[in-house]
Amino acid sequence: MAATHVVAEGPPVTAARDRPPADLVGPVAWLRRNLFNSWWSSAISILLGYLLVRWAWGLIDWAFVNAVWTLPATANPLDLAMPCRKLEGAGACWAMVGDKWRFILFGRYPYDMQWRPALCVVLFIALYGASANRLFWRKELLWIWIATLTVIAVLMWGGVLGMGFVPQDQWGGLPITLILATFGLAFAFPLAVAVALGRRSREMPVVRVLCVGYVELIRGVPLISLLFMASVMFPLFMPEGLNPDKLLRAQIAIILFAAAYLAEVVRAGLQALPKGQYEAADALGLSYWQKTRTIILPQALRMVIPPLVNTFIGFFKDTSLVLIIGIFDLLTAGKVAMADPVWSGFSTEIYIVVALIYFGFCYAMSSYSRGLEKQFGKAKNR
């Protein structure tokens, strides 16, 4: 009998009791439970499976089996696309990406100096990585941001330490996308906190009305209208002779846009904080700024980190809109690359590569935010 095998303090381990009935475990049972648990479900599974296999087959054929991977060795640049053209659409032309990848990533930045934007991209990724790590969630993070962004600015412009000066209109590609998104966040965030606090202030109706007006106005119009404003209206606002660069103007538009959305996220955090925290701080006799700086903001901001990351993903994608006002970001670089007459007709490959770059960044951020939410949830539901 099973009982004779039981060791005094261990759990009862016997083969007969450990194993559930054969029709509840194993791959067949799994299939039955998850794919064929009713005739309706079976029909869906079979149909989807068929379509999936067919499409996957076609995709693999196109993307890998029939694809052209290497550039032909010809002197004539017009012949570079010959092997790809011979396929007549049966396979992908990755050779084109091999020819164009430096242009897609770095745009018109001087070719022999492209290690500088490349280093900037690495720095940006390291900065994101450091900010995502909880070990760095302290005051020093601010200094890390300031230092890194300064180094990035020096690398991009150059002009010191023996690096040649590169004007902004030669920058392009992925660094522009990262600059617009990261500098946008760095400047929009303090503004957003100020606006959120202003919107919550009960004693100063004038400040509140200004903040509400700002947030609702920006959130009510599309980003494009702000970008148009930056590119055609902004020069009219400035005194004569002072005309900021197009990139800077777009950056300001993105900051103003991002701040309105971030302010709403921060406000949600301020509202979610229990009233007792405000009252306890008042009872301690702290002034408004002491209370806000040491009690309210640290807790409120911590709570809204996951939605902040999600909002940031939104901006990251939205920076691609600068294509419309002619700024050379990653998507614009891709579009210019496919306009090359040598490679005309192979735009799909470029779109796939650019989409994969965007997807990589956004997916990393969104899975980070999901993981964080789960951790926070665990602490709350303990």
Partner 1 sequence: MSGTTADPRLAAPRLAPRRPIRLSWSDGRFRNIVYQILVLAGFVLVLRYLVGNTMMNLEARHIATGFGFLDSTSGMPLGETILPYTAGVSTYGRALTDGVLNTLKVAVIGVVLATVLGTLIGIARLSPNWLLSKLAAIYVEFLRDIPLLLQLLFWYVLLQGLPAPKKAISLFGAVFLSNRGIRIPQLNWEDAHSFALLACAVGILGSVLWAKYAKRRQDATGIRPPVWPVSLALIVGLPVVVWAVLGAPWDWELPALKGFNFQGGGTVTPEYAALLTGLVIYTASYIAEIVRSGIQAVAHGQWEAAQALGLHRGKILRLVVLPQALRVIVPPMTSQYLNLTKNSSLAVAIGYQDVVSVASTTLNQTGQAIEGITIIMVVYLSISLSISLFMNWYNARIALVER
Under rule CB under 8 A, residue 85 binds partner 1: no
Under rule CB under 8 A, residue 220 binds partner 1: yes
Q: What are the Cα distances from residue 323, in Å, to 36, 329, 364?
A: 48, 7, 24
Q: Any idea which residue has 């022999």 for tokens? A: 112
Q: Which residues lie closer than 8 Å to 110 by C-beta, 6 or more apart?
A: 164, 166, 170
Distance of alpha carbon 261 from the chain centroid? 16
Nearer CB in complex with partner 1: 116/267: 267
Residue of 307, 313, 350 lying closest to 331 (CA atoms): 350
Structure letter (DSSP) for residue 110: -
Of these, 347, 368, 372, 376, which contacts partner 1 (CB under 8 A)?
347
How many chain residues interact with partner 1 (CB under 8 A)?
Answer: 52
Under rule CB under 8 A, residue 271 binds partner 1: no
Q: Which residues lie closer than 8 Å to 282 by C-beta, 6 or more apart?
A: 291
Nearer CB in complex with partner 1: 155/195: 195
Of these, 18, 203, 276, 380, which contacts partner 1 (CB under 8 A)?
203
Contact set for partner 1, span 119-178 (CB under 8 A): none
Q: At what angle do helices 174-200 and 205-220 cross, to 10 degrees?
A: 140
Distance CA 91, CA 325 (A): 34
Give min distance, CB of 30 to partner 1, in A.
8
Interface region with partner 1, contact rule CB under 8 A, candidates 5-13, 32-40, 94-102, 117-125:
32-40
Interface region with partner 1, contact rule CB under 8 A, candidates 34-42, 104-112, 142-150, 272-280:
34-42
For 53-80, give the DSSP string. HHHHHHHHIIIIIS-B-S----S-GGGT
Contact set for partner 1, span 306-325 (CB under 8 A): 313, 317-318, 320-321, 323-324
Contact between 249 and 230 under an 8 Å Cβ cutoff? The reply is yes
User: Which residues would be at the binding site for partner 1 (CB under 8 A)?
Assistant: 34-35, 37, 41, 44-45, 48-49, 52, 203-207, 210, 217, 219-225, 228-229, 232-233, 235-240, 313, 317-318, 320-321, 323-324, 331, 335, 347-348, 351, 354-355, 358-359, 362-363, 366
